[in-house]
Amino acid sequence: MSLTRRAALAALAALPLAAAPALAQTTITIQHPLPSASHYGAGAAALKESFERATGGRYRVNIQRNDNEREIIESVQIGTVECYIGSTGPVGNFVPAVRVVDVPFLFRDYPHARGVLDSEIGQQLLAQFQPRGLVGVIWMENGFRHLTNSRREVNGPADVRGLKVRTMENQVHMRAFTTLGALPTPMAFSELVPALQQGTVDGQENPIPVIVSNNLNQVQRYLTLTGHVYSPGLLICNPAMMQRLSAADRAAFLEAARAAQQANRDKVTADENSGVEELRRRGMQVVTQVDTAAFQTALAAAFAQYERDLDGALLRRIRDWR
Ligand code: PAF
């Protein structure tokens, strides 16, 4: 290399790095109430991967855990957190029309629930969020809820009588447990384990993926596969944040939301397939044969009340959906 060329290179190397135009990066924080290895964690991770890739690093998705769902929704409403992934548990307190999907024994199985929520019925319910200062982006999934407790084996509705059961902050669920003669105690998920340890409540109800991912077997001995209610999940976001996205970025966000929904449902399916065996292995006593008709009969008064308080025509449409 010539002396002049070497000198020129040395001079170049000595130059302060020309300031590259700073890449403006916007952070979107998503909070959900479960461990990262859970079905919500899987959904959030898929959304992050898809959206960050599609927007070439202009957006960063920050995933945080907060096991108080009501608190997350309040934060999304005021805009201190951009998005929520969680159950419909407390959502009816913000968007009352959503309470209809919390009715016990409304959905027959996973294909029924997913089919209804992906249909125009689900879309119409998501449209109810905007007037309440929230955007219902897409339905996610928590799963069919089952009863656990530390007192006794539950074989039928009579065994539920007198049990102190933690429920979500959800009027529809509380009415069902009151009708069964239990003592429903609504509280945030963050308070559940201490309440079970201290005996403030005897039991709780949650889907298999939640019981497994939170090791609830450590504080509960008996599990009955009541499947008494399907627990839908949701991705809810702040309207101003959605508004700020360009049309192309919004399309990328919706694509990422679909990826999140798929990953979330796949994880629920996988946990459902292996979860009960896993909980048995961890020492839980599991009742699998449940007289669903007996539970439905015992809930007759609650069903009559739902018909009066909620949209009865919509309840029938969902029940009859094929
Ligand atoms: O029981 C609840 O509060 C919910 O099912 C949970 C565990 C927070 C998941 O949405």
CA-CA distances (angstroms) from residue 95 to 24, 57, 134, 205? 35, 34, 9, 23
Checking ipTM against 0.90, whether it exceeds it is yes
Of 231, 264, 267, best ligand 1 pocket probe by most atoms within 8 Å of the beta carbon: 231
Copy the structure tokens of residue 189.
């998920």
Establish whether residue 204 lines the binding site of ligand 1, counting it when its CB lies within 6 angstroms of any ligand atom: no
Tell me the three state secondary structure of residue 162.
coil
210 and 38 in contact (C-beta within 8 Å)? yes
Per-residue pLDDT of the chain (322 residues; tens, 9 = 90+): 444 445 444 443 444 444 445 568 999 999 999 999 999 999 999 999 999 999 999 999 999 999 999 999 999 999 999 999 999 999 999 999 999 999 999 999 999 999 999 999 999 999 999 999 999 999 999 999 999 999 999 999 999 999 999 999 999 999 999 999 999 999 999 999 999 999 999 999 999 999 999 999 999 999 999 999 999 999 999 999 999 999 999 999 999 999 999 999 999 999 999 999 999 999 999 999 999 999 999 999 999 999 999 999 999 999 999 9
In angstroms, what CA-CA distances link 315 with 4, 50, 100, 179, 220?
84, 35, 7, 19, 33
Whether 189 is in the pocket of ligand 1, judged by its Cβ within 6 Å, is yes
Whether the CB of 217 sits within 6 Å of ligand 1: no
In this structure, is the dihedral angle defined by the CA atoms of residues 302, 306, 312 and 315, taken in order, positive or negative? negative
SS3 state of residue 167: strand
Counting from 1 in the atom list of ligand 1, the atom nearest the Cα of 189 is 3
pLDDT of residue 24: 82
